[in-house]
Structure 1
């Protein structure tokens, strides 16, 4: 961290300094600060996956179309990705405590509004608001940790922070399944209200406002508009390509081209404006740039791969949502165990070796999951899921430390937003690209598998579509002229075709993870962290 000397001007609004002073009492206590921000971060991370389990119930209750249901998730991710960097800048300018508390309150209120909604359009609208408020609190949480913890404790804190995100993301299907099955789909959202109240109370009592002495005082409105437009065009193009347009559609490439143009304009403007939204000099740091790329590639492999795992468990193995979530417990458990351990290793040895090792583990798990089949037992699945959790934890912690630690202290909020935006872009890109890989493989193999199974005529296109998800239609057995033997063979074709597509998708994810391991060799500990290493205490 930079060695600035600052003076505390007021008890609740001290300026950041490189070495946090020892704290007495509750307000500003580092570990209590970590606990307070973890509650809010848990809500946002949980909502990224918990809603997937509730979608079928929402569709039935509100009479929504498939596109409507997809936008329950896409609207949330789109708003989150578009607003993250700007939200980080708000924290740098006005204080991370304020933006975090506003984010908590808004997220909880939007969640309650979704639970009270009786129309699908209102659900989507309030999900977008959820994403916007979630964007406020995520980078603010990192900014608070960076300003509160001394350098030698920061990696451990970020490790626990990453553990909360990983566990919440992976635990979403379990929590969602329990709530939907035993309460209602509305409870998936209502649960955020009391959690938000607890987070708000803890935040008001414990969090201390931190502001860097040389934080920019002006606001780059044009930069915000250009960056938001670029992020929107990029994520919109990716989502629509995977959802309906396809990657060969001119509309997909028109949106992606407009995103590139907007990013170029944004870069030109940032070099001209006096106080830029994202100073491009940040990217002169090779480790910081490598950390951002690494986060995109990691999320590509992880989120894209996890998407197919849930369909594999529910479609091919016929598990319930709750049982599917329980089968993912090895992944969750290893992320919980490995994240603080990764923080200790990174503190002792630096981030490069743990990051490279983490991506090698991730690649090995991805290649290993290409061997999954309908006959694969729980023990074998658990081994690959556990290895994936071991691989992801060091990357979640290390890439965050590399990005935030290599940024100037006064831009810690922007760096936190950049880290989260990279993760959202990578996740959306992974889901869309691997979805396209799956779709093309299914289209190429389905007719041949149908013929090899000795089935007459040509298959109904709806059955080929079902093969993309590995789900045998429930009404198949009631179709006219359908015998148990034919139904069994059709089910086998659907599962075999899905497995071949999933295998190719995991192969692509594994290759991406290998590339990420090579990128990780360019990372190193943040210079700001090194400057403060060994100083300060908690």
Structure 2
């Protein structure tokens, strides 16, 4: 049985003040360190897998759709389960859900590494996503309950720095592991990290529950929200993968999602203890922060998917060299994350968030200019600017969402923040993937003809153009000459770059919209009242 902290009452309209911790268990800064190790594992996994995707595709003979599902299956599970997982933490305690999430995530990672087919990789990635959903909002719930209000922004800033640094460090670590060990090691690395996080969590973490923590479950609400989120993400993914945006199947799922969300919203106004008290969204900053997370993740995750294929396919770099070329992105996120946290703590989140998304938009538009001959200095400029833009958004939007929610809904707020990021990531990967595929399909045959290639168009090479990779066996094909191979390689690269440029254009426009949304944000008020009638 876990011990449960007492929470001192504070003046009306403020969060309760956590009782001072004695010893290791429940110490605020040790709690931050313990949850940071667990969060690092999940954040690292988000980008370390991107570097491994080309190796997985080659080793398991996967298609572009299969590779997208390595990401989309994970994001789908997270998006569907995060808010419910946050509610589980509010009900049963964030310590318990955090520890279960850590153990399950590490075990699912080991299972992926042991898989010998793309089907099993995708299946265990879904399971990994479900356990990750337990872990992430619980981490934010523990921080919200452990730190007093005047130090919460600083704690979330450091938490965001860990996420930013881990996210940015993934490509480098992934490159080293893929090139010198195997793509499986990208998943096996989570096992020792998970064991360490679990051991620290058992010793350090202390359960915190607000006085008004939920005592019952909105089961119908869970079913409705899960079905709505699942229908939305599934429709988006399948539209980009095979159905197309004009398909009746696509619009059936998207329309079904709208109906399910509407029914969910009506039900939440009637149930005694709703899954998501809709009064939360009367807070304009909280709503704006949620939308901002969706748009930021759309641009970043969708764009990063193509950057790795550009570096390894078009530029012909090894996995390690690909990671090293992303070092400016990594370094800038590590350096600017704590600076962004300090600026947000002192001046509020609005200006850093707007500035961050403007930098992100400029970087996305700048990356349209990437070609096969682009030098390291030019690439570094755009990657560094992207890192500079993303850091304040990852830190600031989290503070806006969690800081504007009451303590008894900290798990739901944490789940909402993470769900917004995963929905945005799924949207970005699916929509930009569809943009790439449509552009390749529209241009490949014409580019083939314009290159003067004296053989019919090979549709297998059109698929290769979606990755930007010239198949190794091309040079050994019957009748193939060096000149002909060079022409075909040029068509593959040119077509890929055209599709990538259009994808970056869309991502840049989304980042501009996000900058406008960021003007509506402000510092978290730590409000206790007005959310479904709950008071602490």
**What TM-score does the superposition give when structure 1 sets the normalisation length?**
0.92
1:25 Cα deviation from its structure 2 partner: 2.4
Unaligned runs of 5+ in 2: 9-14, 530-536
Match of 1:508 in 2: 506
Match status 1:13 vs 2:5:
yes
Out of 334, 340, 343, the residue aligned to residue 342 of structure 1 is 340
CA contact (8 A) 2:79 2:419 kept: yes
1:92 Cα deviation from its structure 2 partner: 0.9
CA contact (8 A) 1:359 1:513 kept: yes
Match of 1:369 in 2: 367
**Range 139-148 or range 520-529, more displaced:** 520-529
- Given the superposition, is the C-alpha separation of residues 336 and 370 from structure 1 closer, same or farther in structure 2, using an over 3 Å criterion? same
Out of 473, 476, 480, the residue aligned to residue 475 of structure 1 is 473
- Structure 1 residues 157-193: Cα deviation after superposition (integer angstroms, max 9, x where no partner): 2222222222322332332332233333433333222
Q: Match of 2:472, SS? A: coil
Counting only pairs closer than 5 Å after superposition, residues 26-41 of structure 1 correspond to structure 2 as: 26-41=24-39
Out of 212, 216, 227, the residue aligned to residue 218 of structure 1 is 216
CA–CA separation in structure 2 for the residues paired with 1:71 and 1:492: 28
Q: Match of 1:214, SS? A: coil
Match of 1:438 in 2: 436
- Given the superposition, is the C-alpha separation of residues 182 and 62 from structure 1 closer, same or farther in structure 2, using an over 3 Å criterion? same
1:291 Cα deviation from its structure 2 partner: 0.6
CA contact (8 A) 1:151 1:530 kept: no
Match status 1:274 vs 2:283:
no
CA–CA separation in structure 1 for the residues paired with 2:500 and 2:115: 36
Match of 1:93 in 2: 91
CA–CA separation in structure 2 for the residues paired with 1:390 and 1:108: 31
CA–CA separation in structure 2 for the residues paired with 1:352 and 1:105: 37
1:529 Cα deviation from its structure 2 partner: 7.5
**Range 169-178 or range 226-235, more displaced:** 169-178
Out of 124, 138, 147, the residue aligned to residue 136 of structure 2 is 138
CA–CA separation in structure 2 for the residues paired with 1:126 and 1:152: 41
Q: Match of 1:261, SS? A: helix
1:458 Cα deviation from its structure 2 partner: 4.2
1:464 Cα deviation from its structure 2 partner: 2.2
CA contact (8 A) 2:69 2:122 kept: yes
1:70 Cα deviation from its structure 2 partner: 4.4
Q: Match of 2:265, SS? A: helix
Match of 1:384 in 2: 382
Q: State the superposition RMSD in angstroms.
A: 2.2
CA–CA separation in structure 2 for the residues paired with 1:89 and 1:405: 17
1:256 Cα deviation from its structure 2 partner: 1.2
CA–CA separation in structure 2 for the residues paired with 1:166 and 1:292: 18
CA contact (8 A) 2:64 2:467 kept: no
- Structure 1 residues 386-425: Cα deviation after superposition (integer angstroms, max 9, x where no partner): 1101100111111111111111111111011001001001
- Given the superposition, is the C-alpha separation of residues 265 and 236 from structure 1 closer, same or farther in structure 2, using an over 3 Å criterion? same
CA–CA separation in structure 2 for the residues paired with 1:456 and 1:65: 27
CA–CA separation in structure 1 for the residues paired with 2:443 and 2:109: 42
Counting only pairs closer than 5 Å after superposition, residues 401-480 of structure 1 correspond to structure 2 as: 401-456=399-454, 458-480=456-478
- Structure 1 residues 112-144: Cα deviation after superposition (integer angstroms, max 9, x where no partner): 333344555444333222111110010000111
Q: Match of 1:527, SS? A: coil
1:37 Cα deviation from its structure 2 partner: 0.5
**What TM-score does the superposition give when structure 2 sets the normalisation length?**
0.92
- Given the superposition, is the C-alpha separation of residues 307 and 273 from structure 1 closer, same or farther in structure 2, using an over 3 Å criterion? same
- Given the superposition, is the C-alpha separation of residues 529 and 234 from structure 1 closer, same or farther in structure 2, using an over 3 Å criterion? same
Match of 2:200 in 1: 202
Match of 1:75 in 2: 73
CA contact (8 A) 1:156 1:340 kept: no
Out of 93, 105, 108, the residue aligned to residue 107 of structure 1 is 105
Match of 1:316 in 2: 314
Match of 1:4 in 2: none
1:68 Cα deviation from its structure 2 partner: 5.1
- Structure 1 residues 98-117: Cα deviation after superposition (integer angstroms, max 9, x where no partner): 11111111222222333344
Match of 1:151 in 2: 149
CA contact (8 A) 1:472 1:494 kept: yes
- Given the superposition, is the C-alpha separation of residues 362 and 238 from structure 1 closer, same or farther in structure 2, using an over 3 Å criterion? same
- Structure 1 residues 422-455: Cα deviation after superposition (integer angstroms, max 9, x where no partner): 1001011011111222222223332332333233
CA contact (8 A) 1:14 1:209 kept: no
CA contact (8 A) 2:337 2:391 kept: yes
Match of 1:23 in 2: 21
CA–CA separation in structure 1 for the residues paired with 2:121 and 2:307: 27
- Given the superposition, is the C-alpha separation of residues 64 and 387 from structure 1 closer, same or farther in structure 2, using an over 3 Å criterion? closer
